[in-house]
Amino acid sequence: MGGEDSQILFILFSGVFLAAVMATFVVAMVILHRQRQVQNKQKVEQLKVEFEKTMLNIENEIQQETLNHIGRELHDNIGQLLSLSKLYLGSSKPERQAEGKELISKTITEVRSLSKSLNLDWVENLNLEEFIQEQLDKIEASGYCKTEFVANHLHWEPSKEQKMILIRVIQECLNNAIKHASPETITITLDSSGTEKFIQIKDDGKGFDSSIASTGSGMTNLKKRMETIGGKFHLQSIPGKGTEIKLLLPV
């Protein structure tokens, strides 16, 4: 009986020990799971804060650029229209007075257009292809270099937030090409690849060694901005062979 009692006690102690081990394992897994939940929640909150901060910066940049544009228009365009209107309306000739009234109407239309641009709601109705073509037309009109635009009809309608990020990133990429690349041609292509749609910005300018880490924050900021809308920023450049940038977004 003594041997049987020992076996029973051993089985009982073994069972208790295994139960304790299992309970410890379960508790550890629960604690680990909760820790991961907290970490994931913190990560989501951090991403949300970064997104809101990025969008606020973008809005401020667009508004500042809009104000600069309005200032130039008021000085160069509206001011000239009003001066001519005053001159024509002060004329004794009926045809000149009629021209003055037409200029006043044109001025009112121009002012209304400028006032609408103060509200960022215009971004929501912005056509991305038209925006890109407009940016390239401005570069070519300045005589700086030639431009090309290739848009494969993707029927792509980014959200307002995506468009706000994209227009600023595209503008910055074009500004960098103008300031540093000295290209003969800048080409922008809209296309898709697999599960992603992309905007390719390519120039045939000076280029640089993109394998060397940049000391500036410009490219890092562009990369982070694309990441806030679930996108990617890829840059490839070779000295003497130009630069290629791809802005990728999931379909």
Whole-model pTM? Answer: 0.64
**Do 145 and 200 have their domain in common?**
yes
**Do 95 and 13 have their domain in common?**
yes
Determine the pLDDT at residue 2: 54
**Do 76 and 174 have their domain in common?**
no
**Do 160 and 56 have their domain in common?**
no
Determine the pLDDT at residue 33: 86
**Do 178 and 108 have their domain in common?**
no
Q: Which range marks the domain in which residue 35 is found?
A: 1-119
**Do 178 and 204 have their domain in common?**
yes
- Amino acid in position 231: G
Determine the pLDDT at residue 231: 92
**Do 246 and 140 have their domain in common?**
yes
Q: What are the backbone angles phi and psi of residue 250, rounded to the nearest 5°?
A: -65, 145
Determine the pLDDT at residue 132: 93
In three-state secondary structure terms, 153 is coil
**Do 62 and 133 have their domain in common?**
no
**Do 139 and 59 have their domain in common?**
no
- Walking along the chain (251 residues) 10 residues at a time, the average pLDDT comes out as 68 81 87 85 77 76 75 79 85 87 86 72 82 92 93 77 90 92 95 86 93 75 90 94 92 71
Compute CA distances 143 → 66, 111, 147, 164, whole Å: 23, 29, 10, 27
**Do 79 and 180 have their domain in common?**
no
Determine the pLDDT at residue 203: 96
